[in-house]
Amino acid sequence: MAGLITLTAQSVRYWNSCHHSAEALQAQSLRDFRAAVRHAWRCSAFYRELYRAAGLEYGDLAAVRPEQLPVIDKNDVRAQFARIAAVPLRADAAGELRPLPGTAVEVHTSGSTGKPCRFLYAPRTLTVMEANFVRLSNIGGSHFVGFGDLPIRSLHVASVGRGYASTLLLTSGLKKYHAQSLVVDTAAPLETWRARIGDFQPNFISGYASCVALVAALQEKGELSLHPKKIITGGEPLTRAEMQRMAALFDADVINYYGCTESLLIGAGASWCEGLYLFDDLNYTEVDADGRLLLTPLRNPAFPLVRYRMDDVLEGFARGSDAAPLPFTHIDRILGRAEELLWFRNAAGRRDFLHPLFLDDLDAPGLAQYQFEQRSDTSFVLRCVAPGVDAAALEAQLRAQLTEMLRRKQLENIQYTVEFVDRIPPDPRSGKVKLILPRSTPRN
Largest CA distance in the chain: 69
pLDDT digit string (tens) for 366-375? Answer: 888 888 999 9
* CATH number reported for the structural domain that contains residue 427 in this entry: 3.30.300
pLDDT digit string (tens) for 167-190? Answer: 555 555 555 556 788 889 888 899
37 and 89, same domain (yes or no)? yes
Range with the largest mean pLDDT of 11-20, 104-113, 288-297: 288-297
Residue 152 lies in a domain: yes
141 and 279, same domain (yes or no)? yes
pLDDT at res. 307: 98
Indicate the pLDDT class of residue 110, thresholds 50, 70 and 90: low
Boundary-marking domain end, from 314, 338, 362: 338
Residue 444 lies in a domain: no
Residue 215, SS3?
Answer: helix
398 and 419, same domain (yes or no)? yes
Question: Is-contact 232 257, C-beta < 8 A?
Answer: yes
* CATH number reported for the structural domain that contains residue 80 in this entry: 3.40.50.12780
Query: To the nearest whole number, what is the mean pLDDT of the chain?
Result: 87
231 and 256, same domain (yes or no)? yes
Indicate the pLDDT class of residue 88, thresholds 50, 70 and 90: very high
pLDDT at res. 345: 94
pLDDT at 6 > cutoff 70: yes
Residue 240 lies in a domain: yes
Average pLDDT over residues 33-52: 98
- The answer for residues whose C-beta is within 8 angstroms of residue 429's C-beta and 6 or more apart is 335, 336
Boundary-marking domain end, from 338, 369, 392: 338
37 and 110, same domain (yes or no)? yes
Average pLDDT over residues 138-161: 80
Task: Write out the residue range of the structural domain in which residue 409 sits.
Answer: 342-437
111-120, 231-240, 308-317, range with the lowest pLDDT: 111-120
Indicate the pLDDT class of residue 432, thresholds 50, 70 and 90: low
20 and 105, same domain (yes or no)? yes
Residue 443 lies in a domain: no
pLDDT at 427 > cutoff 90: no
284 and 397, same domain (yes or no)? no
Q: Whole-angstrom Cα distance, residue 416 to residue 394?
A: 15
Rg (CA), the chain: 22
pLDDT at res. 434: 81
105 and 67, same domain (yes or no)? yes
Number of domains present in the structure of the chain: 2
pLDDT at res. 238: 82
pLDDT at 297 > cutoff 60: yes
35 and 182, same domain (yes or no)? yes
pLDDT at res. 164: 56
Residue 142, SS3?
Answer: coil
54 and 132, same domain (yes or no)? yes
86-90, 159-163, 347-351, range with the lowest pLDDT: 159-163
Q: Whole-angstrom Cα distance, residue 237 to residue 257?
A: 9
418 and 329, same domain (yes or no)? no
136-145, 307-316, 393-402, range with the lowest pLDDT: 136-145
Residue 75 lies in a domain: yes
232 and 315, same domain (yes or no)? yes
Nearest to 233 by CA among 261, 253, 217, 262: 253
Average pLDDT over residues 339-359: 83
Boundary-marking domain end, from 289, 319, 338: 338
Amino acid, single-letter form, for residue 144: F
pLDDT at res. 66: 98
pLDDT at 444 > cutoff 70: no
